Structure formats: C-alpha cells, structure tokens
Amino acid sequence: MRYNQIPKSLFIKNRSNFTAKMKANSLAILTSNDVKHNNADDVMGFTQNNDLFYLCGIDQEESILVLYPDAYRKENREILFIKETNEQIKIWDGDKLTQEQATDISGVSRVEWVHDFEKILQLMAFEADGMYLGHNEHIKRVTFNQQTQQDRMIAWCKEKYPLHDYYRAAKITRDLRLVKSKEEIDFMQQAADISVVSFKRVLKACKPNMKEFELEAELTYNLVKSGATRHAFKPIVASGKNACALHYNTNDGICKTGDMILLDFGVCYANYNSDTTRCFPVSGTFSKRQKEVYSSVLYCLKEGSKLLKPGVLPSEYETQMAKLVETELIKLGLLDAQAVANQNPDKPLYKKYFMHGTAHHIGLDVHDVGLYSRVLEPGMVLTCEPGIYIPEEGIGCRLENDYLITKDGNFNLTEAMPIEIEEIEALMKTS
C-alpha cells in the first residue's frame, strides 16, 4: 500500500462501537464496492466502500464483513471474507491479500474465502433475528441505472431470508464516522499537507496562456509523488468566468492574463480526504476588482469559520454565513441595501451571487456521511467554503479550508495553505 498501515486498533475500536449500537441478536453484512467497467476490458479505478473500510480497513474488491456479536459460537462473531487468488490473477494482477494479511490489517481473526460466503452465512443466519445491510444514503446519490453490490446484497438476503428483520447499517455508521478519532485526523492532516505542497507547485507553474489542465497536471504530479491514492474528486481548475460554474472540471480553458483562477481540489491519502479551494491571478498580480472580491470572500471565511465550534447547529452556521456574504455583496455594489431589506426571505437576493452551502463534513467521503440536524462536536471535521460568483465580470471566487472541531473551537487542518493576497503574489513572483 502507498501509505503507512493504519493501526488495526482503529478498526477493532470502530467495530466495537458499531456492534454496541446493533439490536440484540442481529448480524451485519457489509460489502465492498464493485469494480466498474468503462468499455471493453477497461475498468475504472477501484474505490472501496467506505463503511466496509471504516470497519475493517480492507481496500480490496470482492470483500464482505459479517459481524454477529451475539453469535452462539465465538468464531462466528466476526468473519471477513476475501477473494481467493489463483495463478491467473497472480499472472495478470499480481498479489491479492492472503488471509494472514487480511487479519493483520483488520484485526479480524477469522478470514474466509468469499466463495464460501453463502454457505457460511447459512450456518448462522437462522440463529439471528435480524440483519443490518449497507446502503448508500447520501441525498444526492445517483440511482438511475446503477445497481451496486449493496443493492444486490439487499435483494439476495431478502429473497433468501424473507422473514428476518432488516435494518440500515448506514444509520449506525453515519453517527460513528462523523466524529473522527486521532488516527483518522492524522491521515486527514497528511492529506492536507500534501495539498499545501501541491498548491504551491501550481502557483509557481502558472503562466499566462497555459491550459488549465497543465495546472491540473502539477497537482497530480505532486499528489502521486507524495503517496496519495488519488484526487479526492476531479479537480476544478477554472479560469475567468469558468469559475462561475460550480462543478466545472473540463479544465480545458486557456488561462488568460487578467483572469483569476479558481482551484478546488482534494487529496485522498490512506482513503481520507482533504478539500480546499484557492484563487489566484494568472498574471501573478490581482486586479483592483479581483482584490475587492477576494478580500470579501476571505473576510467571510475568517469570520464564518469562527462559528464552527461545539454546540452549533450546521443550519445556524449556514444562516450566519449567508448574512456575512450578503453584507459583503452590498459593499461590493452587487446588491442594493434597500432591496435586501425588503427582500422575500424565501428568495434572498444573495443567492444570485452565492448559491451553494458553505460547510460539509469530510472524512472517508469528501461529502461525508452524517446528519446536519446534529450539533457540532469535537472530532468532527468540516469544510468552510464561502464564495462570490459574478459571471458578468468574469470573476468567480471561493475559498475553502478544512476545520477540525475542538473542545474550544476549531483547528484549521489547511492553515499552511497560502491564502493572504500578499502571500500569493509573493509566491508567484518566486517562480
């Protein structure tokens, strides 16, 4: 693996926290994600199911974890199923995990081959009253024409064991994964540190008339060289008015002198993510108007991030952040104070220039699991990402950091990433 092995004590602790929340005499089945095809024999890079990873640290396809804490036989309380290798797999793909390695990573002492899953489950299924199954509960998940391994497991279990009770494993993991442990925070800090070096590399490389994807390449170079697994998401390198398309990522525009670039990227290290946004001028010097807009967004980031502290409800924080941005939009001459005073509260005027939320949990997922009805607690990690988008001026500006909620407030994991105007201009001059 590219990263130092995660201590198995983390997964043992995660399983113990998970099973403590299960109903009496129930078992849980967590599956890995599919390896998906593009065309012909070309496959997309494998990304593990994060709930499975959280509970056992196994980053290999075709893995299944079964937890049955009340099982009569001790050896049935935790079983990890992995794919058995063979000569063909060895020749084409190289090594797969051995059972001993899987135990070493996960701390699960009983490891079986996945082709024995149905047979072994049958031996314990009727002893249990109910089953917890995994499912993607993200509100924005795409379901059209996509059947996942989890969907198939649900259908298979319900057909084979129709009279059992069924429960949602995600309801437990979303509560647990929200609060990060020390080991997880360390990996998130490493992801953030890689992103800082990547950003500085981009600043130095940036020259007028480059293609946006040339800057993307600088990011990719550093993150692969640093042992990161992948980009946390397809990076956004958006110059000029491209920055006003929130999820722009074709990155094929030309970076023109006079334009500002919005760079929103994340690093996935040991399966934990960072998510940061910075803006900088192609020429190395911000124009007067770019400076004004940038300073407004930076002010909102600095003031708004102070609200990320224990006891705050995410919705209260979003309301306060919207107020901050609204005030800045008036100062920038983009909104009229009188019109704002008379606005319909259901259709606030600021949404014309600031149309997205400003915080999301981050961890194993960039937009991590967890309910926004839960107040902030120490150990949660959230982004703060205010922005102002003015297509008519060809300016889109967002600034984004990752904050660990602490007992007294928060700690910025991405503090080392340059953000002050003078700092950015000075760095761009040293290339």
**Binding to Mn ion, residues 251-270 (CB under 5 A):** 264
Instruction: Answer with the entry of ligand GLY, Mn ion, none that 259 interacts with (C-beta below 5 to 8 A by kind).
Output: none
Site mask, ligand GLY, residues 345-374, x = CB under 6 A? Answer: ---------------x--------------
**Binding to ligand GLY, residues 366-425 (CB under 6 A):** 385, 400
Q: Is 264 in the site for ligand GLY (CB under 6 A)?
A: yes
Q: What's the closest the beta carbon of residue 1 comes to Mn ion, in angstroms?
A: 26
Q: What's the closest the beta carbon of residue 7 comes to ligand GLY, in angstroms?
A: 29
Are the CB atoms for 81 and 117 separated by under 8 Å? yes
Choose which of 275, 326, 365, 402 interacts with ligand GLY (CB under 6 A).
275
SS3 content of the chain, % helix, strand, coil (to 5): 40, 15, 45
Scan for tokens 């102002």, then name that residue: 388
CA separation for the pair 51, 391 (Å, rounded):
40
Instruction: Answer with the entry of Mn ion, ligand GLY, none that 113 interacts with (C-beta below 5 to 8 A by kind).
Output: none
Q: Is 383 in the site for Mn ion (CB under 5 A)?
A: yes
| Cβ distance to Mn ion smaller for residue 150 or 383 | 383
Q: Is 61 in the site for ligand GLY (CB under 6 A)?
A: no
Q: What's the closest the beta carbon of residue 382 comes to Mn ion, in angstroms?
A: 9
Are the CB atoms for 297 and 290 separated by under 8 Å? no
Site mask, Mn ion, residues 271-290, x = CB under 5 A? Answer: ----x---------------
Are the CB atoms for 270 and 362 separated by under 8 Å? no
> Which residue is closest to ligand GLY by CB?
264
∠ CA 355-140-148, nearest 5°, is 160
- Edge-to-edge, what's the strand order for the sheet holding 111-113? 111-113, 78-82, 64-67, 26-31, 130-133, 165-168
* Per-residue b or e along 287-309, where b marks 16 or more CB atoms closer than 10 Å to that residue's CB: eeebebbbbbbbbbbebbbebbb
Residue 383 to residues 48, 233, 316, 350, Cα–Cα distance (Å):
23, 15, 15, 21
Q: What's the closest the beta carbon of residue 385 comes to ligand GLY, in angstroms?
A: 6
278 Cβ neighbours under 8 A, 6+ residues apart: 199, 262, 263, 399, 417, 418, 419, 424
| Cβ distance to ligand GLY smaller for residue 131 or 232 | 232
Rule CB under 6 A: which residues touch ligand GLY? 233, 264, 275, 360, 385, 400
Rule CB under 5 A: which residues touch Mn ion? 264, 275, 383, 400
